Chain A
Amino acid sequence: MLEATVRHDGSSRFPKTQKYGTFPSAAIGWRISEEEFFNPVSKIVSSLKLKASLGVLGNQNIGNYPYQNTLSTGFNYPFGSGLTTGVARSTFKDPTIHWETTETKDFGFESTFFNHKLEFNATYFNRVTSDILFRPSASVSSILGLGISEVNTGKLKNTGFEFELMHNNSVGDFRYSIQSNLSIINNEVVSLGVGNVDLPNGLVGNGSTLFVGFPMSLYYGYKTDGVFLDQSDIDNWADQSKLNPNPVAGDIRYLDINGPEGVPDGIVDSQYDRTKIGSQIPKYTFSFNLSAKYKGFEIAAFLQGVSGVSGYLDGVPGYAFYGDIANLQRWQMEGRFNPESPTRYPDYPRLEDIRQTGGPNTQLSDWWVLDASYLRLKNIQFGYTFPKSLIQSIGMDNLKIFCSAENILSLNNYRQGWDPEINTNGNYYPILKVFSLGVNASF
């Protein structure tokens, strides 16, 4: 099988010379199991298909007029006793903006075994997105003085595997099926474009979230080693006055990991002592769908999860007495550093009033970055369908009772009461547990 397409797309969002993009793609497939030489194994392997595709996709999913230099309204000012209308240039726009392209290469196979009772599919994918249309606000110095509109900046690579394994079978009246998915993703920033800054510690990136050779949205911060126990502990530790000018017992001990000479220099600072401490993009994503049926009884469950991912509980969820709005959580109270009986690794540093603007202990560090892996039982359902013979006597065609529960169980290492699936801080509505009981009847 062979299929090929070529698209030629135009978009008003790009300037005159850049409006059009050409995007070819092709896919081939080969059903090996239909070839004659395959007959000897066809009892075991019911079907086998090899497939491959190559293609280029275009993306213009951005706001309108991103290339025209404009003056924004809303800059009014009250001269005299009335409001005078004003405008100002507030956004940088790139006059050469053009299509973002993604080159995709997929290879894989689809196979079934034992008379299609077992199915196994695997795909390797390699997607390289170039000229990414993105507002690189975190990668541009505020010396620019302007907000930044979408520009073509950066290159991103996603490679990985997707696996599907399915099995269904029946033994007498008992029928069951299992479906499972696993994807493994390696996300890598190849280039940031405008934010490619050579940092003193050898990394290339914007110094906050994006670094060449690492996944996007990195947690980049300090390594820590517990808290200070007393003044002599502070005196003997690396100088951390650039993070915490006046440390006291119970403050986080930041590690000195590097310096201008490539070795620890006795000073903890933002230039040399921050490193990768976690990734917001899950490496593994998986799900399981299970169902079984025996006569009138049935059960179904859906589980889902991720691993190889970090979460960051800051702000209201993370800090006690934060900015006049956060309270003290139980784990903070129980796990706090207690000056009466100091311990090196409490769950929470000394209790203090923390402003919305943060403080010495709230620097982004591995203290606050948590393992955000989880496995969640999204849904489980039991049902019973009454035998027809029983219900027809009372004039019914069908009667089924069922109960289901959603989000009742989650296995994770997160702080009590917080959910790694919602990987954000601040206020949000928690994931609801839903229990339902139902009757399905038809007459």
Chain B
Amino acid sequence: MIVQTNLIKKICFSFFVLFFFACEDELNLNPKNQYANESFWTNETNAMLALTGVYRGPISHAGTQTKPTDWWSYYGVILLEHATDNAYDRRGDNSNFVTITNGNLLANNSYILEYWKSSYKRVAICNDFLENIIQVDEINETTKNRMIAEVKFIRACQYFYLSQFWGSVPLVTNTLTPDEANQVEKVDRSTIVEFVIKELNEAVPHLPRYKDIPLAESGRASRQAALGFLGRIYLAEKRFTEASSVYKEIIDYNDNIIDPDYRSIFLAENETSAENIFSVKYLEGDAPNSVQLYSYPSILQGFSLINPLGSLAESFEFNDGTPFSYDDPRYNSRNLSENRDPRFSYTLLADGDSFSGQKFITHPDSINSKDVISYANQATRTGYACIKFCQEFFSGDPRNDYGADVPLLRYAEILLSYLEAKLEAGDPITQELLDQTINKVRGRESVNMPSVTETDPDLLRPLLRNERRVELAMEGLRYWDLLRWGIIGETLQGDFWGAPYPDSQRYATVTKKIDSNARWYVTSKNFRVGQDEFWPIPESESNINPKLIQ
């Protein structure tokens, strides 16, 4: 019996051992539809895969979006105008874009949370790239340095936006563990700003010039793109001399142009114009955007979501360069673009205008029009529509088939910013300087507005700011401009109006407030000076890390 028991024990033990060894291999598996990090960072091809991922970041390509998935998603760029005096969100006063600046900003605002989350998502992808690219050896040094510079540029841009809208935020430059992420503390705004300047300066020499980037690589960052963002942060910091020398460098490269055809640079046909220094890339079908669907009026089956305000429409001068006025005989309420800066009709659609063969009728008396101005219909709230990013007679589905790039940095901005930097730095303003900058922008063939001849800095400033507003309208820069000019509080205050309807019978009975120029009442804003200049830390973040608001 004892022998038998021993035998059984031995047999059992052998099975046990066998089982153990047999299993060891079967239990070590590697994923087949993902790349294991430890074996990935080897050659240029893989590094390019990862670099592409850095550019993509959190941007959603799901056609219609309901939130800003990134600072550079079309929704994050264009719809941010709803927080300014340029446009109004058809979804009303409770739209989370409108509440950012109308005195109702709360820490649980879901759109500021999206901007916050997307920044740190992209930062995490950048950090992972920068930590691992070093070990890639099957790659030439120039290529590797270019990639590192691109990623540093993209990461610096995230901190640029964070520094402008939040000011003081955590500065994360390496991959964190969850526990570290929950404990991280904010640093001063100035530290973030210095980091952005340092990183952009480090990136610049390794980035190729705009002219050296082949068409197949369009969308990748050029030296001018990094300099453009460097210029922006210098402007915001009021370091005007440094800003002007950065802008001068871009101008001196002479790689970029003011495109004679203003309207085309926002459309697929001319999206790679040398005016567009850096754009967020979209592609019809595979990587579409729905900007047309959101822009289109009801008559074109659009959502009428993006509604330019009267305040923007009124900033377009008469075509002789004099400011628009409702008292001027050239003003025609039935044809608002008549006698105006041609950019009016490249940007806006007003009552009676046609687009894609359809007439846009918003007049309060035209009660049978789908686009009649109202407070309730899925139609314009201001009497205007934005067609800057819309292609006329587009035949595809505006939700999934439209893929024009959205410009993030244009040469026109460079020229206007250069003039602004010179002006604010106290440099002398000469006619030659005006002709090289603002007059080039407004004098382009398709715009052809008369030259500015004002050389007194204090008188030029409002002209320049207005030019910037008109030229860059709906491109997502107005909010930041108002912030850094320090006029956001006074600007986003009081009543905002839409289009005028002086000959309307119904006007007085349907608008919520009466205006002496018979403009439609849209909304009132009450920007809280001293409070709303910086966004609050999102509530879901301070929930998990109370240090962020202490």
Residues of A in contact with B (beta carbons under 8 Å apart): 10-12, 16, 19, 64-65, 68-73, 75-90, 92, 136, 139-146, 148, 151, 194-195, 197-200, 206-208, 242-243, 245-246, 270-271, 324, 352-360, 363
Contacts and interface: CB of A to CB of B under 8 A. Distances in A.
A19 B545 contact: no
B27 A12 contact: yes
B251 to A, nearest CB: 26
Interface string B256-281: 00000000000000000000000001
Contact of A355 (B51, B55, B56, B94): B94
Nearest to B180: A144
Contact of A83 (B35, B116, B283): B283
Contacts of A76: 52, 56, 286-287
Contact of B184 (A141, A197, A200, A243): A141
Nearest to B132: A89
B220 A79 contact: yes
Contact of A78 (B66, B91, B181, B281): B281
Contact of B124 (A146, A199, A243, A363): A146
Interface string B493-520: 0000000000000000000000000000
B103 interface: yes
Contacts of A352: 94
Nearest to B38: A69
A360 B122 CA distance: 31
B50 A358 contact: no
A242 B106 contact: yes
Contacts of A68: 30-31, 36-37
B216 A353 contact: no
A387 B546 CA distance: 75
A85 B172 contact: no
Interface in B16-41: 23, 26-31, 33-38, 40
A87 B94 contact: no
B297 to A, nearest CB: 17
B178 A358 contact: no
30 contacts: A10-B23, A65-B31, A65-B34, A70-B37, A71-B50, A77-B55, A80-B219, A85-B49, A86-B55, A87-B50, A90-B125, A92-B178, A139-B178, A139-B182, A140-B181, A140-B182, A141-B182, A142-B540, A145-B123, A148-B178, A195-B182, A195-B544, A197-B544, A199-B546, A245-B104, A245-B528, A246-B104, A246-B526, A270-B108, A355-B91
Nearest to B268: A81
B94 A71 contact: no
A194 B178 contact: yes
B362 interface: no
B208 interface: no
Contacts of A148: 178
A217 B244 CA distance: 55
A71 B52 contact: no
Contact of B170 (A72, A83, A143, A243): A143
A246 B103 contact: yes
Nearest to A75: B53
Given A19-B27, A68-B30, A92-B177, 16 more contacts: A12-B28, A69-B36, A70-B31, A71-B40, A75-B57, A79-B217, A80-B219, A81-B216, A83-B287, A143-B176, A245-B528, A246-B103, A246-B526, A270-B107, A270-B108, A353-B92
A208 B50 CA distance: 34
Nearest to B526: A246
B181 A360 contact: no
A246 B93 CA distance: 12
B370 interface: no
B105 interface: yes
A194 B179 contact: yes
B96 interface: yes
B52 A85 contact: yes
Contact of B50 (A86, A139, A270): A86
A89 B23 contact: no
A88 B125 contact: yes
B542 interface: yes
Given A88-B128, A271-B549, A143 B172 contact: yes
A231 to B, nearest CB: 16
Nearest to A91: B34
B205 to A, nearest CB: 22
A117 to B, nearest CB: 49
B128 A151 contact: no
A359 B123 contact: no
Contacts of A363: 108
B201 interface: no
Main SS at interface, chain A: loop
Contacts of B54: 86, 88
B79 to A, nearest CB: 13
Interface in B526-550: 526, 528, 539-546, 549-550
B217 A206 contact: no
A270 B540 CA distance: 10
A79 B56 contact: no
B287 A87 contact: no
Contacts of B544: 139-141, 195, 197, 206-208
Contacts of A199: 546
A86 B129 CA distance: 12
Contacts of A197: 182, 544-546
Given A70-B37, A80-B218, A357-B109, A64 B29 contact: yes
A80 B125 contact: no
Interface string B107-140: 1111100001100111111011000000000000
B215 interface: yes
Nearest to B540: A208
A270 B94 contact: no
A86 B528 CA distance: 43
Contact of A360 (B48, B95, B106, B219): B106
B55 A143 contact: no
Contacts of B403: 78
Q: Nearest 5 pairs between A and B by C-beta?
A: A145-B124, A207-B543, A86-B52, A88-B53, A75-B53
B282 interface: yes
Interface in B204-236: 214-220
Contacts of B52: 75-77, 79, 84-87
Contacts of A242: 106-107
Contacts of B92: 353, 355
B24 to A, nearest CB: 8
Contact of B217 (A11, A80, A89, A359): A80
Contacts of B111: 357
Contacts of B128: 88-89
Nearest to A14: B27
Contacts of A84: 48, 52
A365 B477 CA distance: 37
A139 to B, nearest CB: 6
